Structure formats: structure tokens, C-alpha cells
Amino acid sequence: MAEKEGVIRVKDLTVKYGQKPAISSVDLDVKEAGVTAFIGPSGCGKSTLLRAFNRMNDEIPTCSMSGQIEWRGKNLLSDDIDPVLLRRAVSMVFQKANVFPTSIYENVAFGLRIQGLKDKTELDAIIEESLNDAFLWDEVKDRMEEDAYSLSGGQQQRLCIARALATKPSILLMDEPTSALDPIATAKIEELIQVIKEKVTVIIVTHSMSQAARISDQTAFLYLGELIEAGPTKKIFSEPEKELTGQYITGRFG
């Protein structure tokens, strides 16, 4: 569980694909308390920055990273960090719900089984808690053995959130988790984020400025691979320091 006083400190982070930098020399403190949103026009490097936090960029063969991400006394980018173990503490939800071709129950049990948890009572309890946190329990509690694909798109995304929460991560990364969903399904996910943020640090990429304004406590604005400005969401949206930020949030480009 998040130590709510802390920060995740990104220092001089550069991420390249081949020779081409996608983000350059980013310095950013992400507070463990609350929700941080990454905003900026398409291609500015939001997903690339997000994927650095759990080393998902390692999975892209052409991708290389330099700099540091300091968290709880460790540099997450150093060679002695095991990305697989890191991803238990820093889990991720993607734009498109990636449910597995198995039952609703087994989708949530997935990470727990990999960790070797076999006790049925304990599994059941964690699965119920995770589905509750994902605002899905009431809708699925009587159909846990059904195929996950029988769920609606919005339910599938909440199932992915339940799966991501089941291993009790400290940080949850969300990459445009509602961009494929209708307004009602989107609202449910925005609401559940307001609840889970009490126990997990949420970092969310969104192309929707209204969503960032509604749900985040802190906002970081990126443009062409550079961090332009970061701070409390209220301040970024009402009195940004940089002219470029003001132009973006008032919809003059992007």
C-alpha cells in the first residue's frame, strides 16, 4: 500500500526508440498520494513516460532509457530491479481491455495463482475485494464462472482493473483507460478511481482535458517529448505558469 507522504522522483529521464528520443530529460516528482494525470497532444510521449514506471518499455526491443526513477530508496531503472517483480508493485491497465480467454473468476485470480496462492478461501476473499474495488462485484458475483468475453466493454475494462488490483500494487498505471468507452462506462471508472486512490497511487494518461480536470489531483503537461509544466491540477487549469500550457488547456491546439 502506498506510503502517502512519498514521491516517485523522475530524474533526467530520456527514452529513445532507436536513435530518436521520444521523451527528453524529464524531471518530475509524482506524489504517492492521489491521482496524477499526464496530458498533452498525441505523440508527445505520455505512454512512453508511463511505461517507464514499470519497465514496460523493456519489452520494446528498439527502446532504451537513461536517467533515474527513484522510489522508496531504489532506482527503478537500474539493472538489479527485476521487471517482473516490479510489475506486481506497479501494475498497469491499457486503453483496450485485455481480458484473458477464461472465466471472470480466473481473470482476477491470474496474478495470485502466479504468486502461488492456492488457498481457495483466501483467493475468494481477495477476488471479491478486487472486484468490489473495481465497482464490478455486484454485476458479476452470480456469474463468476462465465467467460469474461460475455461482459460488456466497460465491464471488461473494470475486470482488467480488478485483475490489476488483485496483487495489491502500490502504484496503478492507466493508459487512456476510458478512451474506448461510452460516457456511462467512463463515469463508472472515473468514480472508482476516486475510491481506489485511497489505497493505490494512480497515474493516468488521458487525452481528455476535462477528465484530467475532473479526476486528478496533480497534472503533468507534456509537449513534443518534453515536460512543460507539472503541479496541482487546479493550478494547471486556472493559472498555469507557461503560455504553452494555457494554450493547450484552452484548446488552442492539440
Ligand X SMILES: Nc1ncnc2c1ncn2[C@@H]1O[C@H](COP(=O)(O)OP(=O)(O)O)[C@@H](O)[C@H]1O
Q: Which of 22, 144, 185, 228 binds ligand X (CB under 6 A)?
A: 22
Alpha-carbon torsion, ordered 131, 103, 97, 1, to 10 deg: 30
Q: Where are the alpha helices (DSSP H) in the chain?
A: 46-52, 83-89, 104-114, 120-133, 137-140, 153-166, 183-196, 209-215, 233-238, 243-249
* Nearest in space to 230 (alpha carbons), one of 8, 4, 3, 5: 8
Least Å from the CB of residue 106 to ligand X = 30
> CA-CA distances (angstroms) from residue 239 to 29, 30, 38, 229?
20, 20, 17, 12
Select the residue whose beta carbon is closest to Mg ion and give its number.
Answer: 47
Residues 23-52 that bind ligand X (CB under 6 A): 40, 42-48
- Residue 158 binds ligand X (CB under 6 A): no
Closest by CA to 99, choosing from 47, 159, 162, is 159
Distance CA 15, CA 12 (A): 10
In whole angstroms, the minimum distance from the beta carbon of 215 to ligand X comes to 18
Using rule CB under 5 A, residue 47 touches Mg ion? yes
Establish if 48 lies at the interface with Mg ion (CB under 5 A). no
Residue 170 interacting with Mg ion (CB under 5 A): no
Q: Which is nearer to ligand X, 48 or 178 (CB)?
A: 48
The smaller minimum CB distance to ligand X, of residues 6 and 21, is found at 21
- Interface with ligand X (CB under 6 A), residue from 7, 11, 14, 17: 17
- Beta carbon of residue 129, minimum distance to ligand X (angstroms, whole number): 31
- Contact at 8 Å (CB) between 242 and 229? yes
The site for Mg ion (CB under 5 A) is made up of 47
The site for ligand X (CB under 6 A) is made up of 17, 22, 40, 42-48, 60, 62
